[in-house]
Structure formats: C-alpha cells, structure tokens
Amino acid sequence: MSSLCTCCSAAIPNHVCPFFCSSARKPKDNSTYVTDCAQTAHGRPAHKTGWDSENDGNFVVYSGTIDAYLNRFLPDSPDNPLPKRDVSGAFNKVPKTTVEKDMYLPLQRGLRKEVSDIPSSKRPAFVDTSAQRIPAPFPSLEEDIRDTGPDLSSTLPGKKEATLKVAIWFGIGTVIEIKATEAQDPLKEGGREGSETRRETKRQLAINARNLLHAHLHTHVFIIGIYGFTARIYRFDRAGCIASPSFNYCERPEIFRMFFWRLVHPPSGLSIAGADPTVSQPMASDWKWASKVLREKYSEELPQGARQVGRWLAIPSKDPNAAPERFLAIELRFINSNLFGRATTVWIALRRTTDGDLDDGVKYAVKDSWRQQIRPSETACLERLAEEYKSDLYGLPDFKFGGDLSVWEARQWSQKLTVTGNVRRSPRLVAKTGNMSGDEAVPVLPHITCHQTVSAKVAKKDICYERCHMRFATQCIGRPLSTFSSTKEMVTAIKDAVIGHQNAWNAGVLHRDISAGNVLIVEDHVEKPFKGFLSDFDYSYMKVNAPPTVSPQAAHDGTSDDTQLKQRTGTYHFMSLQILEASSGIKHEVRHDLESFYWLLIWIIYWHTKCTHPLEHSGPLRIFKHLDDNDCADAKLAWFTRRGRDLIIPGNPPLAWLASRWVDLCATNKDQEHEDSTRALTHANVLDMLNTALGMDGWPIGDAAQQGKRPFNGRATTDKPPAASTGQKRRMQHDAMRLSKRSRLDCASAG
C-alpha cells in the first residue's frame, strides 16, 4: 500500500506534492518530460497574433531610476531591512557571447552568491528550466495554455533546487528570461518597435507572468529579463506591465540582491511580494474535514485534483465589522486564460463556519475577477436584485457574500491605523510612503492594498483601464447549458433565464452579455424553483435611479445612461445583428439581449443536437465562423432572410417549431421594435413562445447533448465561446486569430 504525503494526504509514488513537502516524490512517468517546440504550438500565427494583440499598449517603462522603481513597487520592509554586504564581482564570470545558454550557469552562480545570506527559510534557489516543458497550472487550461520552459526559474522562498527537478508552476517564485545581447531588449529605445524579435520576447515574458498569476492566485508578479550585461525587472498585474529602466547588473550587482531580498521579505509579512493575503494553502486536516462533509452532505468524494488546485479564499462579509467568511475551494470550474483583463475564475467551494453549524460545509460558487473601475460593480447589480426580490428571486443567482476586496481591505487598514482620531505609522504604511514625495505621498490609504492595479496609472492611461479585485459567493450553482440531459431541459433552462432577464430589467438591470457561458442549468443538489438561470453581470447596465426598495449604495454612480448603453459589450457570436452593423454606438435595448438568446439557442442546437442544414458551410457554421463585424453581420442577415428557415431538426417537432418561430420574431425586430405589440421582440412574446413550445407533445426523451461535433476553432467541445468584445474595432482583426487560441469558456457557476 502506498504511504501518504504528510502535507496533503495524497498517495506518494505518482504524486508531486503542491506544497513541496519532504515526502513528495517525482512521478515515474515524467522522467523524460521534455518535448520539442512543435508541441508547444508557440510558433502558430494565431498564437502569436493573439499575444501581440493582448500585449499591445500594455507595456510601459517606468520614468524614474531603478532605485526609485524598487522603492515604489517593491518597498523595503522596516522589520527586515537589507543587511549591508559587498556583492561586487558576483557576475564577473558572465561571458560576452551571442549564445544565451553560455550565460545560464554563470548567472546561476552569481544569483546564488547574491542571496546566500538570506535566511534558509526564505532563500530562493535557482534552476535551469530551459530544457523542461512546464505544463499549464491547471488541467482545464491545457487547451488554451501551451507548455513552456523559462530559461531560469527561482523556487518559492525556502525551497530547494530539487523541488524544480520536474518543474511545475506551483513551485516557481519568479522566472528569468535571458537574451545574449542588449539589442534584444524589447523596450530598448531606438530599436524596431514592431520587430518580430521584440514581439517574441514580450510574448515570453507575458506567458510566464500569466502562468505565475494563475498558479499562485497572486495580485501581481515580478519577472526578470536579462539582455547581455543589462537587465530589466517587470511587474505584471491585470491592467498591464511596468518595466524598470534598464540597468547594468555587472556594474550594479546590488540591484538583484535588493530585488530578491525584498521579494521574499515584503512589508505585508506574506511569504512573497504579490501574494494575495486573502488566499492561503489548506492543511491536511482541512482536506479531512472537506472529505467528511462531502460524504455526509452530498454523498460525494473529494474531486480529483482538489488537493492541487484547492485554496482557502477569504470573502468579505455583508457586515463590514465582521470577520471575512472562509471558503475552501475544491474544484476549479472556470478560469480565463488571458493575462490582462477580468481574469475571471470560478470555484466550487465549501463554506467553513463552525462544527455543527448547518451551513458548515455547504457548497457555494465563488467568483473571482478584476473589474474595470469605470464599470458598475457586479455585486452592486446582484445586491439590487436580492433587495428587490428577496426570497422570490427567480432565474437569477442569489448574492450571499463578497464585494470589492480593495474597498474591504482599505476599510480594514483604516480601522487599524486610526487610533483615537490619529493615524498610526504602521510598518506597511511606512514602507509604502517612506520613499515617496510630492503627489505620491498624499493618497496614502487607497494604495496600501494590492487589490487595485497600478499599471494604468503609471502608463498615464484613463482610470477606466485600472482594475479592482472582486470576489463573491452564491449558493446558486450551475452547469453549462451544453451539458443538458434532454433538449426539453435545455429549452426550459433558457426560458427560466429569460424570466431572470425580465426580472433583472424590471429592477433596473440590463444584462448585455447573453452567451453560452452565462446561461446555466441548476445543478441537481441545489434546491431552486427554476431549472436555469442567468449569471455573470460583469457587463450589465444598471439604472442610476434605483427602485425604492434598493439602498443608495447599490445604485451606480458612473456614466450617464445613454453613454453607458452605447458602450458595445457582449460575446461576439451572440451579438445582435443591429449592434454588429452599427458603425457607431447605439443604445443597447432589451430586444438586443432577446435576440442574443436566440443565437444562443442556435449555437446549442447546431453543436449539440442532430440538426442538419442544406448549406452545411453557409448555414449556422457561417454565423459562428466569422469574427469580422461586416462578415458576421452579413451571415446573420442572410440567416434572417432565408437560411434560418432551412434548419432541420429531425425527430423533434417542438424544437424545430421554436427555432422557426423565434427567427421570424428576430427578423421582424432586427432594426427596431415592431409597432405591433403582438409581433414585437419582448419578454412577454418570447416567454409565450417558449411556453407554447414546452407545452407541445413530441419532445424526445433522453436526447442528451452531443459532444462529438468540432466547432470552427477545432475544439472537441463547444462550451468555450470566444471572449467578449468591448467594441474596440481596431483590434477586431487581431482578435479573429486570437480567439482560436484563447477562447472564452463556459462558466459553470453563478455570476
């Protein structure tokens, strides 16, 4: 019988412990885990174009000195000041060469000398990982994230080189990408800005940053780039990358010493700079508790891989004076594979209260994302819906806990720092302000939290590009619409989601992002009066004037109604024809969302049922193939005009009737709402149509979703529609190729 890992209780022989305890062993089948570059597919045009589009405009060089850069973005800890020590000559053995591999060993030795006086419990080790192909942090990302091999990797603080003998991202603290010459610096002034060499170097940096952020759930990460005898330090968050000015590390070796000392001695008191203080690793006793409550409450075992992906997540309570709620994430349901942007992650988690409490061990869906500051808070929308409908909430997720982590943490620090009306100088506050002057020293409190990005501000972009860290929990847990057990169940779920959409609009909230990832089927163990619900209110519009039952705090105080409604949002394949055709912004109306529900129905029918079309390559496939505004609009117009009525759904008369009736309703209202109320695309007419179809005889029994068809991007399943478009047409052509690599997944949870 296999012994158990003393840290995470997994069987040892084929197990790499995510916590790198002494009992972890190298997997037997990974002894030759080195693949060729072709397997990574990093050379594919779609991969390159996707990353170039994402990186475009998101790299900025800090205008101050390298010392000012470190003081601002990696401040010293007053409790752990850097000891004085001479490290001159640490990199004298680094050769001048055009072969970067010749630099690896001398750089490793120099870095080891630099960190030799860091206490062993905090000291990182440096490993050559260039020959390894490190897989994606989570299995669910393997289709979107290709294996990669950084040149040098540092271990997490206090871990030995052996922990990276078979490297995984969970064990890497930071990476060092090396180029042989200074000319290969991607941000060097005077170089060719758009050269392929520069773009490729940026891609490497961005891919490493994305993988580190995913693996550790950090708020930001640091990466080093070495170019001959010069180097830069890069700080990545979800809004962009701030690069340090270039410096000569041979002439100033103390810079790397200062960097690594501060990296593992952050003022926050955490293990490494950038770590999220609201995230922590579970212990073996936590997994025993989780296994017990799953068996007792749900007759289930712990999900496979839970011990690797699991984390404790703290979520603000609705009571601002109460301690945060604790949730043990046991299953990763969705993770956005992008580096910059919302970075949405959804977990199934168990709430931890106290032993014997009825809610102890209850399943929740926990959503983590980074919201653009200009957009209304998703939790504000959910709070309004909860206040408006209370226990009568139908077709919508119930909001239980959570909100803006940056606001919550700033409030916590405000309470800690204020003593009888005076602000106490805490170590963390000193570290943030001690080396600042002028404008940087004034807004103290908002900047002591890492739950707000800072890249956009440094790049002098509009505040709308900055992001806040959001996290909330709901008991309304769902699975993708593409996993229906019968087509009648699928249509029932869509009907309930339309009711939810109607309820939201009656409360002053317009969803504006109907897609395959946002209409979910309620899981069997969840007791709800509805079968489907509408989730993900990130892009929703909320009326400024809230209903009387809603608290003023829930009202959105952002842009005017017209301005906000003219901001184009949505998931590309499901956008209404009129929004695609508009050369300038038009007001997003209810009928546009109801048309998106129709495109969702056709998407599910085409990819997951036994349907056919006389024009196989000019029918539904043409609608969902194009990612150019004009081509996609032309395809949808042709579908409304003639092709939509040729869809054949054998053996399912009610579904065939519904598809035919709905296309007529959409075509009649494609330009404006029909003046005849009986023919208008309204909630009442759509729900009447859905109820009529569901009341018909002839629904097949057990016609579960088919997963065999391959969508246009070559994926085996189609519960991964493309990323949401925000109307930035200058990037639309880039996005067309980008989305084949970086598709948006079906979010199998609420909100």
Nearest to 104 by CA among 178, 181, 196: 178
Cβ proximity of 516 and 721 under 8 Å? yes
Asked if residue 187 has pLDDT above 80, the reply is yes
Asked if residue 35 has pLDDT above 80, the reply is no
pTM of the full structure:
0.82
Residue 561 confidence (pLDDT): 60
Residue 322 confidence (pLDDT): 84
Asked if residue 565 has pLDDT above 80, the reply is no
Asked if residue 223 has pLDDT above 70, the reply is yes
Cβ proximity of 376 and 544 under 8 Å? no
Residue 193 confidence (pLDDT): 61
Classify strands 240-243 and 541-542 as parallel, antiparallel or unpaired: unpaired
Three-state helix/strand/coil letters over 142-189: CCCCCCECCCEEEECCCCCHHHHCCCCHHHEEEEEEEECCHHHCCCCC
Q: What do you get for the CA distance between the two ends of the chain, in Å?
A: 43
Long-range residue pairs from 88-95, CB within 8 A, at least 24 positions apart, any chain: 88/253, 89/253, 90/114, 90/253, 90/256, 90/257, 91/229, 91/249, 91/250, 91/253, 92/250, 94/229, 94/250
**Up-side HSE of residue 616: CA atoms within 13 Å toward CB?**
3
Cβ proximity of 503 and 510 under 8 Å? no
Structure tokens at 713: 């991007």
Cβ proximity of 136 and 251 under 8 Å? no
Asked if residue 436 has pLDDT above 70, the reply is no
DSSP-assigned states of every residue in 240-295: EEEEPPPEETTT-THHHHHHHHHHHS-TT-SSSTT--TTEEPPPHHHHHHHHHHHH
> pLDDT for 327-349, tens place per residue?
999 999 988 889 999 999 999 99
Q: What is the mean pLDDT of residues 390-399?
A: 92
C-alpha R_g of the chain: 27
pLDDT band at 67 (very low <50, low <70, confident <90, very high): very high
* Of 690 and 149, the one with more pLDDT: 690
Query: Between the CA atoms of 497, 501, 502 and 506, what dihedral angle is there, to the nearest 10 degrees?
Result: 150
Residue 554 confidence (pLDDT): 36
Q: Please give the CATH topology (third level) of the domain spanning 475-738.
A: Transferase(Phosphotransferase); domain 1 (1.10.510)
Residue 432 confidence (pLDDT): 42
Taking CA atoms, 69 is separated from 146, 234, 328, 338, 458, in Å, by 32, 10, 36, 26, 11
Q: What is the mean pLDDT of residues 24-47?
A: 40
Residue 564 confidence (pLDDT): 64
Give the whole-number percent of the chain exceeding pLDDT 70: 78
**Up-side HSE of residue 503: CA atoms within 13 Å toward CB?**
24
Residue 487 confidence (pLDDT): 97
Asked if residue 65 has pLDDT above 90, the reply is yes
Q: What are phi and psi of 248, to 5 degrees?
A: -90, 110
Residue 73 confidence (pLDDT): 94
Residue written as token pair 């030799």:
116
pLDDT band at 390 (very low <50, low <70, confident <90, very high): confident
Q: What is the mean pLDDT of residues 674-686?
A: 91
Residue 22 confidence (pLDDT): 29
Q: Which of 317-326, 356-365, 543-552 has the lowest mean pLDDT?
A: 543-552
Q: What is the DSSP letter of 727?
A: S
Q: What is the mean pLDDT of residues 289-305?
A: 94
Would you tell me how many other CB atoms lie within 10 Å of the CB of residue 648? 12
Cβ proximity of 147 and 134 under 8 Å? yes
pLDDT band at 613 (very low <50, low <70, confident <90, very high): confident
Give the integer Cα–Cα distance in Å for 130 and 124: 18
Cβ proximity of 467 and 453 under 8 Å? yes
Which range is most confident: 32-41, 127-136, 439-448, 564-573?
A: 127-136
* Of 369 and 27, the one with more pLDDT: 369
* Of 574 and 710, the one with more pLDDT: 574
Q: What is the mean pLDDT of residues 425-444?
A: 40
Asked if residue 590 has pLDDT above 90, the reply is yes
* Of 589 and 419, the one with more pLDDT: 589
Asked if residue 273 has pLDDT above 50, the reply is yes
Q: Which of 290-294, 341-345, 470-474, 549-553 has the lowest mean pLDDT?
A: 549-553
Q: What is the mean pLDDT of residues 94-107?
A: 96
* Domain ranges, ordered by start, for the chain: 1-32, 38-264, 276-372+401-474, 475-738
pLDDT band at 426 (very low <50, low <70, confident <90, very high): very low
Asked if residue 145 has pLDDT above 60, the reply is yes
> pLDDT for 106-143, tens place per residue?
999 999 999 999 999 999 999 999 999 888 888 766 55
* Of 410 and 58, the one with more pLDDT: 58
Residue 34 confidence (pLDDT): 27
Q: Which of 100-114, 186-200, 408-422 has the lowest mean pLDDT?
A: 408-422
Taking CA atoms, 205 is separated from 87, 94, 232, 271, 470, in Å, by 27, 22, 11, 23, 26
Rounded to the nearest integer, the mean pLDDT of the chain is: 81
Classify strands 478-480 and 418-419 as parallel, antiparallel or unpaired: unpaired
Give the integer Cα–Cα distance in Å for 676 and 698: 31
Asked if residue 194 has pLDDT above 70, the reply is no
Give the integer Cα–Cα distance in Å for 641 and 639: 5
Asked if residue 642 has pLDDT above 80, the reply is yes
Give the integer Cα–Cα distance in Å for 235 and 66: 13
Residue 119 one-letter amino acid: P
222: helix, strand or coil: strand
> pLDDT for 534-545, tens place per residue?
999 988 999 876
Asked if residue 232 has pLDDT above 80, the reply is yes
